[in-house]
Structure 1
Amino acid sequence: MPTLLGLRAAALTVTAVLVSTVLAGCGDDDTQDEDLTRQELSWEDCPTPSDAQGGGAAPSPLPDGGEWQCATMKAPLDWDDPKGDTIGLELIRARSSGDGGARIGSLIFNFGGPGGSGVTSLPSFAEDYETLRTRYDLVSFDPRGVGRSAPVICQNDQQLDAYFQQDATPDDAAERTELLENTKGFNDDCEQNSEKILPHVRTTDAARDLDLMRQVLGDGKLHYFGISYGTELGGVYAHLFPERVGRAVFDAVVDPTQNAEQGSLGQTKGFQLALDNFAEDCLSKAEECPIGDSAQDVKDRIAGLLKDLDRTPIPGVFPRELTQTAATSGILQALYSQEFWEYLTQGLQEAYGGDGSILMLLSDSMNGRKENGEYSNIAAANAAINCADDKPRYDTAFVERKLPEFQAASSLFGDYMAWGMITCTDWAVPGAADHPVVSAPDSAPILVVGNTGDPATPYEGARKMVEALGNGVGIELTYRGQGHGAYDSKNKCVQDAVNGYLLDGKVPRTGTVCT
């Protein structure tokens, strides 16, 4: 499930509405025999984002008037054949705002997904990282398979509209058959349109890209800020290259000990917790909660809406209708961030009156759909990376056996999350492992930040990451808050701890709690 990276852009899109291709592929290269660590990047003004990156305008100037710069780094298509074909990986940077003597190096960001464009995400979040820019060049990138970096392409916009409207919680044999056929059709299209890149988008491949990036940027150590899935990527990097880890922060932490089923069940519980908190928050307002008389009534009315939509969709964003599946994904998107709760309240209120447009806009932002009907490749890349990483393949019988456990975790989201486990059924590429390996006992300290109210990467994952990294490596910091991630909540305690480590090397006391 996509995480974090779409929130800022989605917030801007939703607010505006409420208030008022393949460009780098893989192939032979006549310089493929050169040592790629010695390549020189040609930094230029950033172009407008490609369709696969999500479209839109070129990034606005930095707060001090500086311009964003973009470049393409060559990397092996197959890291087992480093002298073979290459692909281009798209990078973006903002040069350090401090004097040259204070500069530490580059701070590389991965904002999660997997499948999100770091080239478009970093400018959206850049204001939050201005303090870090005083000593670092801020750098992000489109991981392989994403955006402008040899993007995975599966289906066209019209096909994706239908795919995201389908009934993802089948009630009978006919609906189960249709869901399986649609999933197989999507996966077959991925293989047909992206066969060459699919075997090479594993997280271990991206970690090797990170190390090449470190060298090309001229850094002796990798200074890294990973968020959501970016924490998994960072953990895998630390396992592969422990002696090359510099100052690193993991925020909104993926549990590295879980397989795909356990991860899905954990998210089910996490989103139910977020829904419980949303309902309580609505009732705690000074004014009357417009979507229920009690927290339980809020949740019961949402359940009733979804049940009604399963039978009869309502108008959404013309000409599409809001289906049960679209409404569920819209609710999930809103629960990623407390900033979205007001939109969820308004969207539910309007849906009860027969207008599903706000919930559909939220669903569209989850799936990478722009208002003009064009999709980024986030859904395709998310499936490709997860299915290349995750070894288990779950069939209908397995899901049906697990449904009671998922329904017990959340009567609202359990079916949706359980049936999502068939995504990798019949995928063209075998999965690599049951779960990532992140053990890195020889690494420098890594600051691991967990949020007690995080729906997508539940809080327990931070402790599991600390334990898996090894004794003395993971430094645990707890934020008692809501939403996905902690640093961008602007909590002063969290930001002081993170900034103190990244800028001055001050390692916080493990077990520190921020409220």
Structure 2
Amino acid sequence: MGHPTSQGGRHRALTVGAALLSGVMLLSACSGGGGSEQRGEDEESRPSEESTPAARAYPGVPDAISQQRLSWDPCEAPTVAQGGGEAPGELDDGTPWQCATLTVPLDYDEPDGETIGIALIRAASTAEGDARQGSLIYNFGGPGGSGVFTLPLLGEQYEALREGYDLVSFDPRGVGESAGVRCLDGEETDRQEQENGALPRTEEEAAQYAELSAEYVAACEANSGEVLPHLTTTNTARDMDLMRHVLGDSRLHYFGISYGTELGGVYANLFPEQVGRAVLDAVVDPTADFVDGSLGQVRGFQLALENFMADCADQYGEDCPTGRGGAEGSALLADFLAEVAEEPLETGGDRVLTEQLAVLGIVAALYDQETWEYLTVGLMEALEGDGELLLLFADAYNERDEEGRYSNQRDAQAAITCADTTGQRDPESVEENRSAFEEASPVFGPYLLWSLAGCEGWPTDGEREKPEVSAEGASEMLLIGTTGDPATPYEGAERMQRELGDGVGVLITFDGEGHGAYGKDACIDDAVEEYLLSGMVPQNGLVCG
């Protein structure tokens, strides 16, 4: 693959789930806390349609940045880097999606130096006067997901929260149209995917894998080297606080999903007194270094796979492509992947389904229980030699469009992960951890094992081994863990609660499947909405599902 994976969920799972459901169904048919700061009266109690009132001075940055006005205009269509598609238009009640650009320092240690623009999107609150509580800022994960692309796609899911907040999201630095990182173009990416399609099994194959990875890293440095040192989660948290300030809120109200929970924890550590009402859903384990985090993710996907296989066996009996599931099913899939490594599958197009793309297709389908039935069909077809459906899953995961163009989420993910972590730089760790990864899962272990050297040769050093999230003095933050989450195993939520500090994290549980819980269960939704809209903190230990 040539780039690292993230411990927090390796793509915009919610966005991909929506894309998969529409695309897969088409293909299957063909193939069988605190409030906002008071800013005045009447029209000044909420932002105008044209601009946000200028903020006051903000410590450590020039007045030209701290007192900037945001000009909100109708959103244009997302760029290819963001994910492509049509302009978001309006919500059902006629509320328009509006976009703006926030100016931030590239380097907070040199705030008078170069600046970059952070792309923003919002839908104004339906509340009037004092009922409006401020802005609710979203990060949907990755790292590398474009919030400008994702929030409108999921706007209906969050409609209830507009009763108190303007819904706001953004492309974090390095993502989409916020100084977005670019490495290889679509044609070059396809070439690497096809040439590097099988996991290395010999020294010669490992050398080729390393060569293609070095080519990828060199392209990142050549095309985006100036911004790479500054794409840390810490800097994105600083951007969010400046965003809060310019939006006119005295505290940050926040909704983070997957990697977005790590970002929320880092923000709370840096700015505990500015934390308002914050929801962290599908929580990353902040205590795990990259090796432990990746191994935990291997186990999480294996658990989800076993749950999928049991469901498949119940529904299809002997016709289930993974047999009776369990060890038998995992062995069947591992054998299938080894065969694909030797002879990739035709897909009806110019590309073949390689071993790595097959694993990625399975991974993508496990993010949401609603796509399990299509995974069954995809595996049935793949066992008959047709890899088209699994390739569709992999392409959706990689955000590749029908014209062969990719969003920048994979490049941004690599850049942010390598800027953040001191890990992933030692090729010897692959062999040192091979047995543990393969024992955890014969299907996903060999694949995620190679991420351990994903930052080898990266032009910048990582900032830290693990994120710092202790947040003494912060307001109560709502944490949501899902027992069957494949990408962010449930234990991560428990550890985040402990690391935030006494009295900060309130943990509730969704006893179910999939990555993320809000929008899947009425009990969870009620708890989140009562907390965000009314300040009613649910009982710690609440279990839903």
Does the CA contact (< 8 Å) of 2:186 and 2:404 recur in 1?
Answer: yes
Q: State the distance in 1 between where 2:528 and 2:101 align.
A: 29
1:194-209 equivalence runs, <5 A = 194-209=224-239
Q: 2:88 aligns with which of 39, 55, 59?
A: 59
Q: 1:436 aligns with which of 441, 444, 467?
A: 467
TM-score by length of structure 1 reads 0.95
2:48 corresponding residue in structure 1: none
Q: 1:450 aligns with which of 481, 484, 489?
A: 481
1:510 corresponding residue in structure 2: 540
Q: State the distance in 1 between where 2:80 and 2:370 align.
A: 27
Per-residue deviation, 1:101:
2.9
Q: State the distance in 1 between where 2:286 and 2:523 align.
A: 26
Work out whether 1:11 is the aligned partner of 2:51: no
How big is each residue's C-alpha offset from its partner over 1:253-280, in whole Å with a ceiling of 9 and x where there is no partner?
0000111111110000000000000001
Q: State the distance in 2 between where 1:292 and 1:74 align.
A: 52
Q: State the distance in 2 between where 1:441 and 1:225 align.
A: 20
1:265-414 equivalence runs, <5 A = 265-285=295-315, 289-296=319-326, 297-414=328-445
Q: Partner amino acid for 2:252?
A: L
Q: 1:131 aligns with which of 156, 160, 163?
A: 160
2:253 corresponding residue in structure 1: 223
1:137 is paired with a residue whose SS is: strand
Work out whether 1:104 is the aligned partner of 2:133: yes
Q: State the distance in 1 between where 2:298 and 2:329 align.
A: 18
Distance change >3 Å, CA 35–CA 230, structure 1 → 2: same
Query: Which moves more between the two structures, 157-166 or 327-336?
Result: 157-166
Q: Any unmatched runs of 5+ in structure 1?
A: 21-31
The size of the alignment, in residue pairs, is 503
1:100-179 equivalence runs, <5 A = 100-165=129-194, 166-167=196-197, 169-179=199-209
1:70 is paired with a residue whose SS is: strand
Percent identity for Structure 1 against Structure 2 = 50
1:86-105 equivalence runs, <5 A = 86-105=115-134
Work out whether 1:250 is the aligned partner of 2:260: no
Query: Which moves more between the two structures, 337-346 or 271-280?
Result: 337-346
Q: State the distance in 2 between where 1:61 and 1:13 align.
A: 23
Query: Which moves more between the two structures, 74-83 or 92-101?
Result: 92-101
Per-residue deviation, 1:125:
1.0
1:24 corresponding residue in structure 2: none
How big is each residue's C-alpha offset from its partner over 1:226-270, in whole Å with a ceiling of 9 and x where there is no partner?
000000000000000000000000000000011111111000000
Does the CA contact (< 8 Å) of 1:6 and 1:116 recur in 2?
Answer: no
Q: State the distance in 2 between where 1:460 and 1:361 align.
A: 31
Query: Which moves more between the two structures, 362-371 or 165-174?
Result: 165-174
Per-residue deviation, 1:343:
1.3
Does the CA contact (< 8 Å) of 1:167 and 1:175 recur in 2?
Answer: no
Does the CA contact (< 8 Å) of 2:331 and 2:442 recur in 1?
Answer: no
Q: State the distance in 2 between where 1:167 and 1:327 align.
A: 9
2:290 corresponding residue in structure 1: 260
Query: Which moves more between the two structures, 43-52 or 5-14?
Result: 5-14
Q: Partner amino acid for 1:244?
A: Q
Per-residue deviation, 1:7:
2.6
Does the CA contact (< 8 Å) of 1:111 and 1:227 recur in 2?
Answer: yes
Q: Partner amino acid for 1:45?
A: P
Q: 2:515 aligns with which of 471, 477, 484?
A: 484
Does the CA contact (< 8 Å) of 2:322 and 2:333 recur in 1?
Answer: no
Q: State the distance in 2 between where 1:237 and 1:475 align.
A: 17
Please tell me the root mean square deviation across aligned C-alpha atoms, in Å. Answer: 1.4
Q: State the distance in 2 between where 1:15 and 1:372 align.
A: 20
Q: Partner amino acid for 1:92?
A: I
1:455-470 equivalence runs, <5 A = 455-470=486-501
How big is each residue's C-alpha offset from its partner over 1:37-96, in whole Å with a ceiling of 9 and x where there is no partner?
211111011011111111111114202122100001101111111111110100000001
Query: Which moves more between the two structures, 290-299 or 247-256?
Result: 290-299
Q: State the distance in 2 between where 1:187 and 1:488 align.
A: 38
Q: State the distance in 2 between where 1:71 and 1:16 align.
A: 35
Q: Partner amino acid for 1:455?
A: P
2:245 is paired with a residue whose SS is: helix
Q: Any unmatched runs of 5+ in structure 2?
A: 31-60
Distance change >3 Å, CA 286–CA 184, structure 1 → 2: closer
Distance change >3 Å, CA 118–CA 168, structure 1 → 2: farther
2:458 corresponding residue in structure 1: 427
Per-residue deviation, 1:288:
6.1
How big is each residue's C-alpha offset from its partner over 1:88-108, in whole Å with a ceiling of 9 and x where there is no partner?
100000001223331111000
1:451 is paired with a residue whose SS is: strand
2:454 is paired with a residue whose SS is: helix
How big is each residue's C-alpha offset from its partner over 1:363-388, in whole Å with a ceiling of 9 and x where there is no partner?
11111211111100011000000000
Per-residue deviation, 1:167:
3.5
Q: State the distance in 2 between where 1:286 and 1:152 align.
A: 45
How big is each residue's C-alpha offset from its partner over 1:95-127, in whole Å with a ceiling of 9 and x where there is no partner?
012233311110000000000100010011111
